[in-house]
Structure 1
Amino acid sequence: MMEFFNNHKKLYLTALGLFVGLTILVAIMPAINNQNNNSPLPNAEALSEEAIQGKAVYVSNGCVACHTQQVRNIEMDKVWGRRPSIAADYADNHRTDFWRNTATLMGTERTGPDLANVGSRQPSAAWNLLHLYQPRAVVGQSIMPAYPWLFEEKDELEEGDVEITVPDEFRKGVKGKIVATEDAMHLVAYLQSLKQVDLPEAMPAPEFLYKRQPKNIADAAAGGGEDMGLDGAALYAANCQSCHQANGEGLKGAFPPLKGSPVVTDDNPELLINIVMNGYDPRPEYATMPAVGANSNLSAAEVAAIINHERTSWGNNARKVPVAEVQKIIDMLKQTAKK
């Protein structure tokens, strides 16, 4: 035995053999099995050329260090996607080239939010560009670094230029027009491509584990409560605050204010609910709003909690809308859309 330990060649070759054997058993064989037994979902779309280039920008700027792309199978991850991620979600990813893998960018740490479904949660190019230029312009408490090198200053716009609207307090002496570079547009194209694909009807969606019941839901339902006991402020923060801001004042030239908005405070909430569920293509001075309700599969109770928060905050003083009324309007909107 001592002869074995004293023979460096035998010791090295044995250790190498164990390492190679374990690598084959623990990493390579399971990977091959995954590859052979999983294929892209039927509705999955391949990355466009712009998105592929954007993925390279994502990698080169170290975005994977702070963002994951995996919705875990626990209730607290429900805010990031409509269902837990499955192997098929990553089956169409390919190596960058022979020397570099970076096929999947699942990440290991969430300093920032998960991006597995960010293309559905936040599809607005205007929001994404402003967020890249200065994150704190849209999320006041953000610790994400700014990426001003993805933009350039111009005195006059040229054909094809995409200008971003930056609030005065974040321009830092820039007097010209702030224009997105090709790298910025490619990165946004990649972010917009990150969407969870609907599973085929024959494939049951995995359920989130450790579900938490909304507080006082039974009492609220029995009493005909407005929002079934859900936390409207928290739901607003998760789904609306990044654009309309915590104070409801929005961002001038980018996202409209909810504070004092006649749409928000109208006694008939049909238009407001329609906007929440199906999005809105507003006046030219504002970015297009995504279909937050449909994209996040919000229930009538969740929509009621959100709009009631908006209708009673920042000086707004409109009546609270019961869940039953919200459900009736959502059903009507669905029927109208089918016609």
Structure 2
Amino acid sequence: MEFFDNHKKLFGATFLLFLGLTTLVAILPAIHNQRNNAPLPNAEVLSDDAVKGKAVFIANGCVACHTQQVRNVDMDKTWGSRPSIAADYAGIHRTDIWRNTATLMGTERTGPDLTNIGSRQPSIDWNLVHLYNPRIVVKESIMPAYPWMFTIKEEPAKADVVVNVPEEFLKGKTGKVVATRQALQLVAYLQSLKQTPLPDGRPAPEFLYKRAEKKIAAADGAAQGLDGAALYATNCQSCHQANGEGLKGAFPSLKDSKIVLDDNPEIMVNIIMNGYNGREKEGFPPMPAVGTDNKLSAEEIAAIMNHEKTSWGNSAKQVTPEQIKQIVDAIKVKAN
């Protein structure tokens, strides 16, 4: 009983027990995990700007609405080419000895998952416009705007990054919208978010609960392939808009486009697979290689092209998956 009556011995023993349990249950397993888990071999280290952009991401509470975890269910396939694995997060380390760092996996997906956003939307121009005011590119967006990350200048310097914002969103302000260093760092972080390919020979985990692919029926009842409208909405609509008219001064229109209406699909396929920068003098930013970045199949590309060729008043000759596959194979041969 003397032990329980002596507060020094009692609290000393309690502290030692707590320290021992913490070491056994928390510290040693954490050290073991850190030694035995490593990032994937070809994982890229964040650049200095991306590291600072991650801090901006955290400071603005972006994790409240955006996750960074592709679950192994089929509905998450739109966010990444494979389900996330532990190695995807192995490169995350403590901020310093006193502070841990947020993994940013998130718990609520009010906005899209960002695990692979660097591949899905690599355009710096789109990201900056979206950051200035999301309603410019997605009318139904509930994401808050971040205009304080930009400044208005009458005469931007050569080094300034000018953002093509439509006049109606400037609210009477004159001059050019210029991205601040903070905005550029945040976009650098978003562009760095790309799923690292698994090492050669290692199969990717399967997505569970696969859904049947939606087919579009023709007038005679024959199946005509995948849902081009849905694929367009996923891969193209954020820039070219639901009405196909794009955004003046930012993203070109597909409505009445000579390339879309051309009966020869080669140029259009080449743009989808390799991107395009031929209209920079008109103020349009380079288009990313959507087909390559998003690993679109010939069937998916054909469905998207047919949607664009027959929508918004367009009336052009449709293509077949076989045609697209031949062109894609030819493009790959030229690239090699």
TM-score, normalized by the shorter chain, greater than 0.5: yes
- The verdict on how the C-alpha distance between 1:41 and 1:269 changes in structure 2, with shifts beyond 3 A counting, is same
User: Is 1:295 the counterpart of 2:289 in the alignment?
Assistant: no
CA contact (8 A) 2:72 2:83 kept: yes
- How far is 1:213 from its partner? 2.4
In structure 2, the residue matched to 1:90 is: 89
- The verdict on how the C-alpha distance between 1:186 and 1:251 changes in structure 2, with shifts beyond 3 A counting, is same
User: Is 1:277 the counterpart of 2:276 in the alignment?
Assistant: no
Q: Distance in 2 between matches of 1:111 and 1:286?
A: 30
CA contact (8 A) 1:83 1:207 kept: yes
Structure 2 stretches lacking a partner, 5+ long? 5-9
- The verdict on how the C-alpha distance between 1:71 and 1:19 changes in structure 2, with shifts beyond 3 A counting, is farther
- The verdict on how the C-alpha distance between 1:22 and 1:288 changes in structure 2, with shifts beyond 3 A counting, is same
CA contact (8 A) 2:215 2:227 kept: no
Q: Summarize deviations over 1:222-264 as a string: whole Å, max 9, x none.
A: x9955x2x11111111110000000000011111100110111
CA contact (8 A) 1:247 1:314 kept: yes
Q: TM-score, normalised by structure 1?
A: 0.88
Q: Distance in 2 between matches of 1:250 and 1:29?
A: 55
In structure 1, the residue matched to 2:149 is: 150
- The verdict on how the C-alpha distance between 1:329 and 1:47 changes in structure 2, with shifts beyond 3 A counting, is same
Q: Summarize deviations over 1:203-231 as a string: whole Å, max 9, x none.
A: 211111111221359x99xx9955x2x11
CA contact (8 A) 2:215 2:223 kept: no
Task: Return the match for 2:309 from 291, 308, 311.
Answer: 311
Seq. identity, %? 65
In structure 2, the residue matched to 1:71 is: 70
Q: Name the SS for the 2:151 alignment partner.
A: strand
Structure 1 stretches lacking a partner, 5+ long? 5-9
In structure 2, the residue matched to 1:7 is: none
Q: Name the SS for the 1:178 alignment partner.
A: strand
Letter aligned with residue 147 of structure 1: Y
Cα RMSD (Å) of the superposition?
A: 2.7
Q: Distance in 1 between matches of 2:137 and 2:317?
A: 29
User: Is 1:106 the counterpart of 2:102 in the alignment?
Assistant: no
CA contact (8 A) 1:224 1:322 kept: no
CA contact (8 A) 2:66 2:112 kept: yes
Q: Name the SS for the 1:79 alignment partner.
A: helix
Q: Distance in 2 between matches of 1:55 and 1:18?
A: 35
In structure 2, the residue matched to 1:262 is: 258
- How far is 1:326 from its partner? 1.2
Q: Summarize deviations over 1:238-294 as a string: whole Å, max 9, x none.
A: 110000000000011111100110111110111111111221123111111111111
Q: Name the SS for the 2:178 alignment partner.
A: strand
- How far is 1:182 from its partner? 0.5
- The verdict on how the C-alpha distance between 1:214 and 1:17 changes in structure 2, with shifts beyond 3 A counting, is farther
Q: Distance in 2 between matches of 1:78 and 1:174?
A: 41
Q: Name the SS for the 1:98 alignment partner.
A: coil
- How far is 1:98 from its partner? 3.0
Question: Could you tell which deviates more after superposition, 250-259 or 35-44?
Answer: 35-44
Question: Could you tell which deviates more after superposition, 157-166 or 124-133?
Answer: 157-166
- How far is 1:95 from its partner? 2.1
Letter aligned with residue 45 of structure 2: A
